[in-house]
């Protein structure tokens, strides 16, 4: 016959066994293990700056790229023609300014005529800069080394300024994100090393604490910390999970 006290004890044990641990710590001696999620250091959506059609796509979902590499090329024929025209007009304006300067020095041209030639040359320089920028905008280049996460357009599509074209991630360095209890707030320090057991690979990753949340969530009494993981060898991927132990 089970007594009332024994029954209460059994119920309590079952509650502990069935309780979720996704946000709870796993205690082991003098340390507790907390769940970690890996995220990219930077995520960037590259958008069109000009209206044109997609001429070619060099990198697609999952492909790796280097810094400065062309990911998408837009049709550049119109912009090459505009640049050639701007260069011709600039050269002509420079020649006219030089001639006007000589005439002014010989007291043949007035100061107003010289100023007008200088203004025309300055406008031609600005037009040339604009043409150069528009032509460069035909080549969507990566700002850093990383991977393509999502391709948002197809070849031959017409795109407009501001339209997203491709989403990329910088995963050379990953951020290990986790929530820990407020009791650790004065114990965790920037530069502290964490060892993470990565679930998907079965290997360990070393992480250095770089960010400590400034606000403690009053509902859960938890706060965020981020730790950087060197991923230059590409062993890990964003979205992988793991556990890390923090001493009490």
Distance CA 75, CA 135 (A): 10
Nearest residue to 177 (alpha-carbon basis) of 116, 128, 134, 238: 238
Q: DSSP for 216-236?
A: -BTTTTEEEEEEEEE-TT---
Average pLDDT over residues 140-144: 97
Q: What is the CATH number of domain 77-136?
A: 1.10.287
**19-42+170-247, what's its fold?**
Elongation Factor Tu (Ef-tu); domain 3 (2.40.30)
Q: Can you give the residue ranges of every domain in the chain?
A: 19-42+170-247, 77-136
19-42+170-247 and 77-136 in the same fold: no
**227-242 per-position pLDDT tens digit:** 999 998 889 999 999 9
**80-113 per-position pLDDT tens digit:** 999 999 999 999 999 999 999 999 999 999 999 9
Average pLDDT over residues 127-156: 97
pTM for this prediction: 0.76
């Amino acid at each position: 016959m089970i007594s009332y006290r024994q029954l209460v004890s059994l119920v309590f044990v079952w509650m502990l066994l069935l309780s979720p641990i996704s946000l709870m710590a796993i205690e082991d001696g003098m340390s507790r293990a907390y769940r970690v999620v890996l995220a990219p250091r930077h995520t960037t959506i590259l958008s069109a700056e000009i209206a044109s059609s997609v001429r070619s796509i060099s990198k697609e979902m999952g492909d790796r790229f280097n810094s400065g590499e062309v990911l998408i090329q837009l049709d550049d024929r119109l912009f090459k023609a505009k640049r050639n025209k701007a260069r011709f007009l600039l050269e002509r304006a420079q020649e006219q300014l030089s001639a006007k300067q000589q005439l002014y020095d010989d007291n043949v041209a007035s100061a107003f005529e010289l100023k007008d030639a200088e203004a025309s040359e300055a406008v031609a320089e600005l037009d040339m800069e604009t043409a150069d920028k528009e032509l460069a905008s035909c080549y969507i280049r990566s700002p850093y080394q990383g991977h393509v996460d999502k391709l948002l357009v197809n070849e031959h599509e017409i795109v407009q300024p501001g339209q997203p074209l491709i989403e990329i991630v910088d995963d050379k360095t990953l951020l290990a994100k986790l929530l820990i209890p407020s009791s650790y707030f004065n114990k965790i320090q920037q530069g502290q090393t964490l060892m993470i057991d990565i679930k998907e690979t079965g290997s360990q990753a070393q992480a250095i604490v770089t960010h400590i949340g400034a606000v403690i969530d009053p509902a859960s009494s938890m706060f965020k910390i981020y730790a950087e993981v060197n991923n230059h060898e590409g062993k890990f991927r964003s979205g992988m999970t793991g556990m890390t132990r923090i001493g009490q």
